[in-house]
Amino acid sequence: MATAAHDIPGLERLPHVEGTLNFIDRSGPKPVNYMYAAPDSVPQRSGRYEKHAVTLYDMRPLLNEVSLDREGFAIVRQESSVQNFYDSAEVVARYYPEVARLVREHTGAVKVHVFDHNVRNRSMAERRESGVYGPIKFAHNDYTFKSGPQRVHDLLPDEAEALLSNRFAIVNVWRPIRGPVEESPLAVCDGRSMQQRDFIEQDLIYRDRNGEVYAVAYNPHHRWFYLRGQRKDEVLLLKCYDSDPHVTRFTAHSAFEDPTSAPGAAPRESIEVRTLVFFPPRR
């Protein structure tokens, strides 16, 4: 349920910008996105989107207060030994273990399975460089009630039933490759300010499987945050799924055009790593 703004003391006094985010039109048909060239006469992406002006608060004064289980996101410090985040083999060999250790230490998980990553750089994506994508500029969440557990079955089929018998989460680990971020920062929404009806199922059609994410509909009660000037050692943990109904289960997020970015600001370079997070049995 949406909650009142006074849940965050002094919210109105936090540094902030006025920006625009893209939201799904909740009155439209179920959105579908083909992850390869769509068949003839089929649109690559369906669903109606609408722009809404929102206030985006700088979370920097709150870094020691925000919580992965309460707001749905947290900032932690981590240096990395990776020399080239555009080298996928190095990322898998060196960064995946760093991420697993970070998530395990922060959450108290008994098992963390790192399963994929994306690197984003608008300039490189526009040049169609392999394996590099641009920022996603519409509000969404990466998994749904259906697709979260399905990912465990897909990736760990022999262990899935046992692992899913206890609490399970999917955490996205997001960091700048170079910092500070000057352009297209990532905005995140306080999970306590959202309602389940704000999350709209969206199909992702791959050649070999179908996935499902949540597009996000506008709600004036949402409270949006970002980390101004996020540095490369400031890592954002983002809750994309949680089986525990007593905590924040999904966290809407979107890149946005920062109106304070300087003309010609360097394109944001970032990496996001997705992790399956398994917790010990409750006592």
Is the pLDDT score of 242 beyond 80?
Answer: yes
Q: What is the pLDDT of residue 3?
A: 42
Q: What is the pLDDT of residue 45?
A: 86
pLDDT band at 35 (very low <50, low <70, confident <90, very high): confident
pTM for this one? 0.94
Mean pLDDT of the region 237-243? 98
CA–CA gap between residue 204 and residue 13 (Å, rounded): 40
Name every residue whose Cβ is closer than 8 Å to that of residue 179 and which is 6 or more positions away in sequence.
229, 230, 231, 232, 233, 234
Extract the tokens encoding 88.
């996928």
β-bridge mates for residue 52, sequence order: 21
Mean pLDDT of the region 77-95? 97
Q: In whole angstroms, what separates CA 274 from the centre of its chain? A: 9
Q: What is the pLDDT of residue 179?
A: 87
282 or 186, higher pLDDT: 186
pLDDT above 70 coverage of the chain, percent:
97
Is the pLDDT score of 208 beyond 90?
Answer: no
Mean pLDDT of the chain: 94
- Is the preceding omega at residue 245 within 30 degrees of 0, hence cis? no
Q: What is the pLDDT of residue 5?
A: 41
179 or 251, higher pLDDT: 251
Mean pLDDT of the region 187-199? 97
Q: In whole angstroms, what separates CA 113 from the centre of its chain? A: 17
Mean pLDDT of the region 199-214? 92
Is the pLDDT score of 10 beyond 80?
Answer: no
Q: What is the pLDDT of residue 88?
A: 97
- Give yes or no for a contact between 117 and 93, defined as CB atoms under 8 angstroms apart: no
- Give yes or no for a contact between 239 and 72, defined as CB atoms under 8 angstroms apart: yes
Is the pLDDT score of 162 beyond 70?
Answer: yes
| Domain residue spans of the chain | 15-36+45-61+73-278
Mean pLDDT of the region 155-184? 97
Is the pLDDT score of 272 beyond 80?
Answer: yes
Q: What is the pLDDT of residue 7?
A: 66
Q: What is the 3-state secondary structure (H, E, C) of the chain?
A: CCCCHHHCCCHHHCCEEEEEEEEECCCCCCCEEECCCCCCCCCCECCCEEEEEEEEEECHHHCCCCCCCCCCEEEEECCCCCCCCCCHHHHHHHHHHHHHHHHHHHHCCCEEEEEEEEEEEHHHHHCCCCCEECCCCCCEECCCCCHHHHHHHHHCCCCHHHHCCCCEEEEEEEEECCCCCCCCCEEEECHHHCCHHHEEEEEEECCCCEEEEEEEECCCCCCEEECCCCCCCEEEEEEEEECCCCCCCCCCEEECCCCCCCCCCCCCEEEEEEEEEECCCCC
